[in-house]
Amino acid sequence: MMSRRFVTMLAVCVSQWWATSLPAQTVLGPEGPRNPEQKQPPNRIFHYELTVTPAAEPSPPFKYSLYPRWNELTPGNSVPMWYRALSRIQTSNTHFQALGENQERWFTDPWDALPVDEIRSFLNIWSSDLENAQKATYREDTDWDLRLRDLRGPETIAILLEEFQNARQLAYVLALRIRLNLLERNYDAVLADMRICFRLAHDVAEPETLINDLIGMAIIAITEENIQHFIDTPGSPNLYWALAAMPSPMIDLRPAMQAEMSLPVRLFPWLKDPEAVDRTPAQWHQVLHDTMQQVAYYADELPGLNSSETGIDIALLALVVRGYPTAKRQLIEAGHAPQDVEALAVGQVVGLYQKHVYQQMWQNFEAASILPYQQAQRRFDQLEQGLQRELESSEVIPMVSVLLPSVRHVSYAGMRREVSHAILMTIEAIRMHMAVNEGRLPASLDEITIVPVPNNPVTNVPFSYELQDDTALIDSPFPYYHQQYRISVDAN
């Protein structure tokens, strides 16, 4: 669970990311090896209905864009401009409170019922903040200068990440302005704000933490929901090439995954090389005592553990008595001479073995995370089936089981964004086909030849597509987020 503050933020990020386009009753459970018996959320089906008009291929193809193009960037670091854009949220929630109080009405009311003057008055308060966000969008570089890889010990997870949570609130302000401009068919303004949102998502995810990546993906989800509204707006231009030109992936999960998997060795520097320092048996006991104390704190609680000094010592003694024989045997099997292992202090044997367990477990999960999606899921299944049993029989101090992030859920998050992106491109390919076929929906995706239709990233084959009368159905099964789109043609 890492730290109380860290894990709370991670839970909030995951739940908020999931909630950006799901009904309120949908909950993302903390799937992972630390609690393999927990029930998973049902594989619900979420329905989207779009009424579209034909939209020809833009000429030139990149007439419209959703992300700043290379030749549009200006020298400088985007971060100072983002801080200026976020300053109102960071110093006072008074102005943002109005959005929270009116969010359901402003974002879900029918277009013809929107209180336009009320929304415009709210947005006027944010004009200078959004102007700074616009400037940040076109800066060449992004450097938050957090130097996360330099942190060691408790400071590793004590770092505050409030500004990144606030970035999500800024995305909602932008989403509201997008909604207002869509109502007025001001497509240039809509696309300008979408560019800000996507660059914000990218920049927020630059620091190597899973929290940052999840916040970035939440901002992408907010913006993609507005792209659906864009496509659903009569006469809207085609965004196929604008979508195709976006960075892929928009958020690279690997740096954060590697950083999170290095967490134990950064929290407990001795774990990197237990033999680097000569320690007496008493010193080894103190190292393990301090480690046990920190693990207990990061986990909030461990069953039956008294967090007093005496309680920690009693728990540590029990764990070492149980785990020392296994640790000694495993070190010998790994190639250490039996006489050398016997000569080591008990604490050093446990320390060396903890390093071995950490490397095996974490590198196995990292190896799974870099595989193609379907192969990764099979690998995760294999790992999770045996992980709890292996940890119970091998780990002396419950370090890996407490600190291991929910790697699988993060991979779901990344793939879900790729699927949503591919569906949007598919719908725009359909609208482009309609533009050269008298407004008719294609009988199949194979019928579309004007541009390539993207495959489903999960299966690497085309999405399931069916034409029923005058309605096209796109089906995209996915764990916990099965999407179905009904696309009809605007009769007007």
Name the least confident of 30-34, 122-126, 129-133, 367-371: 30-34
Q: Which residue has the higher pLDDT, 27 or 135?
A: 135
Name the least confident of 25-29, 85-89, 167-171, 333-337: 25-29
pLDDT, tens digit, 9 for 90 and up, residues 235-257? 999 999 999 999 988 999 889 88
Alpha carbon distance 294, 2 (integer Å): 10
Name the least confident of 95-99, 221-225, 311-315: 95-99
The mean pLDDT of the chain is: 83
Name the least confident of 18-27, 54-63, 149-158: 18-27
pLDDT, tens digit, 9 for 90 and up, residues 450-485? 999 999 999 899 999 999 989 999 999 887 778 999
pLDDT over 70 for what percent of the chain? Answer: 83
Alpha carbon distance 167, 85 (integer Å): 9
One-letter identity of residue 82: W
Q: Which residue has the higher pLDDT, 485 or 93?
A: 485
Q: Highest mean pLDDT range out of 42-51, 53-62, 287-296, 358-367?
A: 53-62
Residue 20 pLDDT grade (very low, low, confident, very high; cuts 50, 70, 90): very low
| Mean pLDDT along residues 193-216 | 95
Q: Which residue has the higher pLDDT, 148 or 418?
A: 418
Name the least confident of 19-23, 28-32, 55-59, 257-261: 28-32
Residue 269 pLDDT grade (very low, low, confident, very high; cuts 50, 70, 90): confident
Residue 74 pLDDT grade (very low, low, confident, very high; cuts 50, 70, 90): very high
Name the least confident of 51-60, 260-269, 471-480: 260-269
What pLDDT, on the 0 to 100 scale, is given for residue 76?
97
Q: Which residue has the higher pLDDT, 328 or 134?
A: 134
pLDDT, tens digit, 9 for 90 and up, residues 332-341? 988 889 998 8
Name the least confident of 55-69, 158-172, 186-200: 158-172
Name the least confident of 100-109, 123-132, 383-392: 383-392
Q: Is the pLDDT of residue 34 over 50?
A: no
Residue 216 pLDDT grade (very low, low, confident, very high; cuts 50, 70, 90): very high
Q: Is the pLDDT of residue 29 over 90?
A: no
**3-class secondary structure for the chain?**
CCCHHHHHHHHHHHHHHHHCCCCCCCCCCCCCCCCCCCCCCCCCEEEEEEEECCCCCCCCCCCCCCCCCHHHCEEEEHHHHHHHHHHHHHHCCHHHHHHHHHHHHHHHCCHHHCCHHHHHHHHHHCHHHHHHHHHHHCEEECCCCCCHHHCCCCHHHHCCCHHHHHHHHHHHHHHHHHHHHHHCCCHHHHHHHHHHHHHHHHHHCCCCCHHHHHHHHHHHHHHHHHHHHHHHCCCCCCCHHHHHCCCCCCCCCHHHHHHHHCHHHHHCHHHHCCCCCCCCHHHHHHHHHHHHHHHHHHCCCCCCCCCCHHHHHHHHHHHHHHHHHHHHHHHHHCCCCHHHHHHCCHHHHHHHHHHHHHHHHHHHHHHHHCCCHHHHHHHHHHHHHHHHHHHHHHCCCCHHHHHCCCHHHHHHHHHHHHHHHHHHHHHHHHHHHHHCCCCCCCCCHHHCCCCCCCEECCCCEECEEEEECCEEEEEECCCCCEEEEEEEECCC
Q: Which residue has the higher pLDDT, 363 or 244?
A: 244
Q: Is the pLDDT of residue 121 over 70?
A: yes
| Mean pLDDT along residues 394-419 | 74
Q: Is the pLDDT of residue 94 over 80?
A: no
Q: Is the pLDDT of residue 128 over 90?
A: yes
Residue 472 CB neighbour total at 10 angstroms: 24
What pLDDT, on the 0 to 100 scale, is given for residue 383?
81
Q: Is the pLDDT of residue 49 over 90?
A: yes
Q: Highest mean pLDDT range out of 21-25, 48-52, 160-164, 369-373?
A: 48-52
What pLDDT, on the 0 to 100 scale, is given for residue 287?
87
Residue 155 pLDDT grade (very low, low, confident, very high; cuts 50, 70, 90): confident
